[in-house]
Chains A and B, each alone.
Chain A
Amino acid sequence: MIQQLFFAYFGCAIVILSILVISMKNPIHSVLWMLLLFFHIASLYLFLNAEFMAAMQVIVYAGGILVLFLFAVLLLNIREEMRINRFIGAWPTGFTFAAGLLAVVILSVRSFVAAPPGIYTIDLIKKETNARALGTLLYTDYLYPFEVASLILLVAIVGAIVLAKRRAKG
């Protein structure tokens, strides 16, 4: 009962917050709503026995990505942004497309079959702690994708610096 109540609250809050994020006139308000949204998603992860991912969500998204967004928003002319229409002219097309996608995916969910349960039961994870089980798996079975991810991050750092750097004079 209390679980369902908890999930209902977080589900409603996440949906409402994401609508707020895309419909705010002021981009700074949008970013701040998004911060609240990320914290709600992190609590949902806690609820799903994924402590490590919840911590990652808060650190990487709320700490890193949102600061980047806030920094970029400061480039905008907020006053002009408040005045003009915030949606492009063709927004009904976007809305129709999104609603159609929602309908198709929800209809297709019915034919969903759950996979057979794996070996990582809740008791095992509780015994071994979430971060430890995740780390063991990450550094053994998924070592190669892990290295690829580190390479992607390196390329992103270099690329961002190259793109955002001012051209040297002369």
Chain B
Amino acid sequence: MILSIVVFTIGVFGFLSRRNIIIMFMSIELMLNAVNINLISFSHYIQDLRGQILAFFVIAVAASEAAIGLAIVIALFRNKATAHVDEIHEMKG
């Protein structure tokens, strides 16, 4: 459980601190994986399969999230030719 928390925190740090948007997506995957580790270890320890079912759905949602996110990155890259979050400031007033 501590392992899962540590991986989750590393994911949060990576998400908040990296400049490259693709690495930020990888940090999101890291956080989802941490949650999956936690779910599956609890489903082992309390002997219930519901944790594994939930982890299964998390994997499905993570796959679709990665597809959508990378499609957004590609569209963004086509328009702006950058993948750095601090160079995207069109919405700034």
Interface residues of A (CB under 8 A from B): 11, 14-15, 18-19, 21-22, 27, 30-31, 34, 37-38, 41, 44-45, 48-50, 52-53, 56-57, 60-61, 64-65, 68-69, 71-73, 75-76, 81, 84-91, 93-95, 97-99, 101-102, 105-106, 109, 112, 114-122, 125, 133-134, 137-138, 142, 145, 149, 152-153, 155-157, 159-161, 163-164, 166
Contact = CB atoms under 8 A, between A and B. Distances in A.
Task: Give the size range of B's interface with the partner.
Answer: 35 or more
> Helix, strand, loop or mixed for chain B's interface?
helix
B5 A22 contact: no
A115 B46 CA distance: 7
Contacts of B74: 72, 75, 163-164
* Most A Cβ at <10 Å: residue of B45, B60, B62, B78: B60
Contacts of B86: 88-89
A85 B17 CA distance: 11
A52 B30 contact: no
Contacts of A11: 3
A152 B53 CA distance: 16
